[in-house]
Amino acid sequence: MVTALRSTSRARPPAPLLPLKQVPHHVAIIMDGNGRWAKRRGLPRLAGHRAGTENVRRVIQRFADYGVKYLTLYAFSTENWARPKQEVRGLMRILSHVIKRETKHFHKNGIRLIHIGDLDGLSPGLQSEVLDAIELTKDNDRMTLCVAFNYGGRAEILDAIRRMLADGLSPDQLDENVFAAYLYTAHVPDPDLIIRTAGEMRVSNFLLWQGAYAEFYSTPACWPDFDVQDIDEALLDYSQRQRRFGGLLPEEADYQTRQSNGRRAGTDKTAR
């Protein structure tokens, strides 16, 4: 049973929310480590993937409680098709099961569900389940849950370019805003924080354009063990960072101005 695979840490009641200085508007998570989690327990890889679905509701709830408005979960990449066929088929069954199990809960709790990626790779039945869940939850506004399934950052960029060419856009019509409007995430703000579980330090073809200025956080916890405490630690770390977006913080800019004014004043005195 899947319930037997749950981490014992989930039996603890949620801790109070931390008083954070800033909370990200959009958090994106690379859900990694299901296979390693299973291997350490002598279980098949699919057991790890099933266990990884058991904390989805808890993770969504915690981020929503903090006021995060967008949460993106990287569930299946375009490269994952290269995995053994049995594992791929199992992942598709798991996605179908989660949609059937969780959609009503999402709707009841004000969660809007959207998909980013290419639905064409999925079976007609699974496509229909995804689209029905999107339709049911489309007017919810507490949080938007973006499920990146059959998604790849490079494929997304190439697809955007193809569609721009098909629409006849000329080079002088193209800027960052126009390009972003052709991405799968056209109506989703760029992520402020990207979290990767299982200790890896790479983005793995995930939100390559959108994550250009995102803060990155890696946790050693495998995805099935990623829990409320891990979320709190990630958000606390984020809240203590200073985001410059290539520029200077106001106090740094003021310091540079004072330094520059001081040098000019010294030059004027010398000239006199």
Name the strand (E) or helix (H) holding 116. strand 111-116
More confident of the two residues 250 and 167:
167
pLDDT in tens, 6-42: 444 445 667 899 999 999 999 999 999 999 999 999 9
Encoded tokens for 221? 């916890």
**135 lies in a domain?**
yes
**67 lies in a domain?**
yes
Residue 99 structural domain: 2-7+20-241
253 has pLDDT over 60: no
Name the strand (E) or helix (H) holding 72. strand 70-77
User: CA-based Rg of the chain, rounded to a whole angstrom?
Assistant: 22
Q: What is the mean pLDDT of the chain?
A: 90
Give residue 18's pLDDT. 95
97 has pLDDT over 90: yes
Please indicate whether residue 32 is annotated as part of the active site.
Answer: yes
Q: Which of 34, 55, 65, 80 is catalytic?
A: 80
**255 lies in a domain?**
no
Assign 246 a pLDDT band (cuts: 50, 70, 90): confident
Total number of domains constituting the chain: 1
Give residue 129's pLDDT. 96
**247 lies in a domain?**
no
Q: What is the mean pLDDT of residues 239-253?
A: 73
Assign 265 a pLDDT band (cuts: 50, 70, 90): low
Name the strand (E) or helix (H) holding 12. none
* Helix pair 45-52, 85-108: axis angle to 10 deg: 10
CATH of the domain at 70: 3.40.1180.10
pLDDT in tens, 163-184: 999 999 999 999 999 999 999 9
**59 lies in a domain?**
yes
Please indicate whether residue 139 is annotated as part of the active site.
Answer: no
User: What is the 8-class DSSP label of residue 220?
Assistant: S
Report how far apart the first and last C-alpha atoms of the chain are (Å, whole number): 86
pLDDT in tens, 33-91: 999 999 999 999 999 999 999 999 999 999 999 999 999 999 999 999 999 999 999 99
**266 lies in a domain?**
no
In the numeric block, the tokens 């064409």 are attached to 120
pTM of the model: 0.85
**64 lies in a domain?**
yes
Nearest to 232 by CA among 219, 222, 242, 213: 219
**134 lies in a domain?**
yes
Give residue 6's pLDDT. 42
Cβ–Cβ under 8 Å, residues 20 and 239: yes
